[in-house]
């Protein structure tokens, strides 16, 4: 019987909060009640779990085919006219597979034929890799450097009339209390390594978030007709409005001009396309004599080879901002694209044994867990991974 206790345990399991004793209790219940697993125990929790780990019907079937081949064969020969019911059935089966895989249990497959199929539970990884953290290096105007993650809170340096401090929240804050302009412009640079991210408040009050393997070069005081900064990697801006002094972001040969707005720029050199995604306000994207204006919800994609600027509507801004909000979010992303993101955030090298293929993945995963948690979900589709030191070897 499906009691409140079992519902509580399954919820805790999918939240990753189960203790060893609770896992054991849940395991015993599943072994004693195999006929109820799909229909009862996981039905509610799958719906909430699916909001984090989205699986298409094709992925669900592929997951199942890697775990329960005889059951797949049984269902493939069933004529289910209601495709919605069929997809939901696969979703419940996939949810059960995820739970049972993690608990290391047995699954009775093809019970009418008296067959017993043992789950191929992946061997425990001998090593794991922690996620990225708030870390960066500040390079001052005189060329000296400050490691921000190990620096104490409080005043770090003075750059002209501007003080540079590290707040209690770990932010890097530039402040010019007098509001006076510096005669000699001094440039600072903040650089995040692979496995790092950082938040900066610029002298004009604009807020900037740097993703892993990114950089921001900026003046310690904004003088003249524009507020110009230079970036590499991926950076999100919330620009303070100043109609008299536009804010200009330079990413290689691409320039983004704004007055006051919220937008994200992805300009990694190992990506084929530079993306500017607008959340609020308006921006003008320019490159090689070409330009395009963006409205909220639009994205400009600049092809590095041809300099072509394409504008796309109805962009999933939540996906584009997932990194800032603590998630990986994939929408029909191929394996190579996903592994590039993992490589930057976990500071690892990625190599392939075989062709990565054109298979795509959809889902959302938190970025605060060890890399093994991400790889475990991806491995359910049949892709195999192994960790060797600071390298991940992928066998598609």
Mean pLDDT by 10 residues, the chain (396 residues): 68 71 74 52 49 50 48 43 50 51 36 31 60 97 96 94 94 81 82 98 96 97 93 98 94 94 96 96 95 96 91 95 94 92 97 88 87 85 89 92
In order of start, what are the domains of the chain with their CATH numbers?
4-118 (no CATH), 133-320 (2.60.120.1440), 327-395 (3.55.50.30)
Report helix, strand or coil for 110: coil
Own/partner pairs, 150-158, CB within 8 angstroms, 24+ separation: none
Residue with tokens 């996903």: 338
Contact assessment for residue 359 and residue 320, using Cβ atoms and an 8 Å cutoff: no
Q: How far, in Å, CA of 35 to CA of 24, rounded?
A: 19
Q: How far, in Å, CA of 229 to CA of 137, rounded?
A: 17
Report helix, strand or coil for 362: strand
Instruction: Tell how far CA 132 is from the center of its chain.
Output: 11
Q: How confident is the model at residue 293, as a pLDDT?
A: 96
Q: How far, in Å, CA of 345 to CA of 323, rounded?
A: 10
Q: How confident is the model at residue 93, as a pLDDT?
A: 52
- In whole angstroms, how far apart are CA 258 and each of 69, 245, 360? 55, 9, 35
Contact assessment for residue 263 and residue 240, using Cβ atoms and an 8 Å cutoff: no
Radius of gyration (C-alpha) of the chain in whole angstroms: 25
Q: How far, in Å, CA of 76 to CA of 265, rounded?
A: 45
Q: How confident is the model at residue 103, as a pLDDT?
A: 46
Cβ-proximal residues to 84 (8 Å cutoff; 6+ apart), any chain: none
Q: How confident is the model at residue 182, as a pLDDT?
A: 62
Could you give the residue ranges of the DSSP H alpha helices within the chain? 4-14, 20-32, 43-50, 57-67, 69-76, 83-103, 317-320, 335-346, 371-379
Q: How far, in Å, CA of 226 to CA of 162, rounded?
A: 18
Instruction: Tell how far CA 143 is from the center of its chain.
Output: 33
């Amino acid at each position: 019987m499906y009691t409140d206790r079992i519902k509580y345990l399954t919820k805790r399991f999918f939240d990753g909060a189960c203790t060893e004793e609770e896992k054991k209790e849940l395991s015993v219940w599943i072994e004693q009640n195999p006929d109820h697993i799909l229909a009862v125990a996981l039905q509610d929790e799958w719906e909430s779990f699916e909001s984090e780990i989205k699986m298409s019907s094709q992925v669900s079937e592929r997951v199942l085919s890697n775990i329960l081949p005889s059951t797949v064969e049984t269902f493939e020969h069933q004529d289910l006219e209601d495709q919605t019911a069929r997809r939901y059935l696969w979703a419940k089966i996939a949810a059960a597979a995820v739970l049972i895989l993690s608990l290391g249990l047995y699954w009775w497959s093809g019970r009418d034929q008296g067959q017993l199929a043992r789950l191929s539970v992946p061997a425990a990884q001998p090593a794991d890799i922690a996620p990225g953290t708030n870390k960066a290096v500040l390079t001052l105007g005189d060329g000296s450097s400050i490691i921000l993650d190990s620096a104490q809170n409080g005043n770090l340096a003075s750059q002209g009339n501007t003080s540079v401090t590290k707040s209690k929240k770990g932010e890097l804050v530039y402040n010019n209390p007098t509001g006076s302009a510096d005669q000699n412009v001094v440039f600072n640079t903040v650089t995040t390594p692979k496995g790092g991210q950082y938040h900066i408040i610029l002298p004009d009050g604009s807020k900037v978030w740097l993703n892993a393997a990114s950089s921001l070069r900026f003046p310690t005081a904004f003088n003249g007709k524009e507020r110009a900064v230079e970036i590499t990697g991926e950076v999100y801006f919330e620009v303070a409005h100043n109609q008299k002094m536009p804010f200009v972001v330079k990413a290689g040969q691409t320039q983004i001009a704004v007055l006051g707005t919220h937008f994200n720029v992805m300009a990694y050199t190992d990506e084929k396309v530079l993306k500017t995604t607008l959340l609020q306000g308006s921006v003008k994207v320019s490159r090689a004599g070409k330009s395009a204006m963006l409205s909220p919800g639009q994205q400009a994609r600049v092809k590095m080879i041809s300099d072509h600027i394409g504008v796309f509507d109805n962009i999933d801004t939540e996906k584009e901002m997932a990194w800032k909000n603590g998630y990986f979010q994939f929408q029909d992303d191929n394996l190579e694209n996903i592994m590039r993101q993992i490589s930057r955030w976990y500071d690892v090298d990625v190599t392939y044994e075989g062709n990565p293929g054109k298979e795509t993945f959809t889902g959302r995963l938190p970025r605060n867990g060890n890399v093994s948690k991400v790889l475990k979900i991806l491995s359910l589709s049949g892709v195999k991974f192994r960790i060797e030191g600071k390298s991940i070897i992928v066998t598609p």
